[in-house]
Amino acid sequence: MTRFLWLSETTDPNSQLITYRFRTVLFGATCSPFILNATLLKHLDANASIWVSAVLRRDLYVDNIISSFATEADVLSYFRVTRDLMSSADFSLRSWNSNSCRLRELATTQKVLDTDRPTKILGLRWDADADELFLQHTIFPKSDFITKREILQRTAKVYDPLGILSPITIRAKILLQDIWQQKYDWDVPLSEGLQQRWNEVSNDFNTVSSHKFQRYYFSPNDISDIAEDIHTVDFHTTLHVFADASLRAYGAVAYICRGN
């Protein structure tokens, strides 16, 4: 319960104080994300018999939902059923977008189409027409006068919850560790060697910002082949995971291999 005091007569600073209490969860409160998630899960559990409930539980990230289906008919059904399910609890699912023109038209008629171009998705940008994902365009200018404060400010602006930029961000974190160990003050210019390392990292940030990749892993032909081959004895899909570590960092990569 969030409460605050206010004057009973706003024009009289000596008037009696009144206690006000918020009737809704205060936006920005520390508990807000938990309350939102708990409320959504309770609603989905209460409607577990509806098929979209399991999909929503799987694809929910705070107040974002990202789902994918093999057919346009499934996407349209998902839109209608999900909207009805959440509306029953007074939740309005809005800012919809899809690579399906029919769903975009449907979302437009219901005034819930996402108007952002491109669409923002968990630190990424999505061009729905081309069905391509790319990173937020961040330009780190090259500098011959860089400080610990500037490096921390610039790296803190990188929003990457999916870890797409981990091969670069880990180098920035290691650089900051070295700067701390060498006991640099916040606004003291770094040595030539440290500045060179930062310029290499910032150049990689700028380079990867222009890279685009397809949203789906399998191409349409692959999906068609899977539908035809899924019942054959020789068809199989394998998941390969590689992991390694050093004294400075560790990482892993997963690779899906489909073959006969």
pLDDT tens digits, residue range 183-220?
999 999 999 999 999 999 999 988 887 788 888 876 65
Helices (H), 7-71: 32-46, 51-59
For 63-75, the pLDDT digits (tens) are 889 999 989 999 9
pLDDT band (50, 70, 90) for residue 136: confident
Percentage above 90 pLDDT, the chain: 57
Phi-psi region of 95 (alpha: psi -120 to 50; beta: other; left: phi over 0): left
Is 169 exposed, middle or buried, given 0-12, 13-18 or 19+ CB atoms closer than 10 A?
A: middle
Q: Check residue 233 and give its pLDDT.
A: 45
The CA distance from 225 to 73, in Å, is: 20
What is the DSSP secondary structure assignment for residue 62, as one 8-state letter? T
Residue 114 in contact with residue 108, Cβ under 8 Å? no
Q: What is the CA radius of gyration of the chain?
A: 25
| Residue pLDDT, tens place only, 82-99 | 999 999 999 999 999 999
Partner residues linked to 64 by β-bridges = 61
Looking at every residue in the chain, the average pLDDT score rounds to 87
Strand, coil or helix: 189: coil
Q: What is the 3-state secondary structure (H, E, C) of 83-102?
A: HHHHHCCCCCCCCECCCCHH
- Indicate if the pLDDT at residue 59 is higher than 70: yes
Task: Output the pTM of the full model.
Answer: 0.70
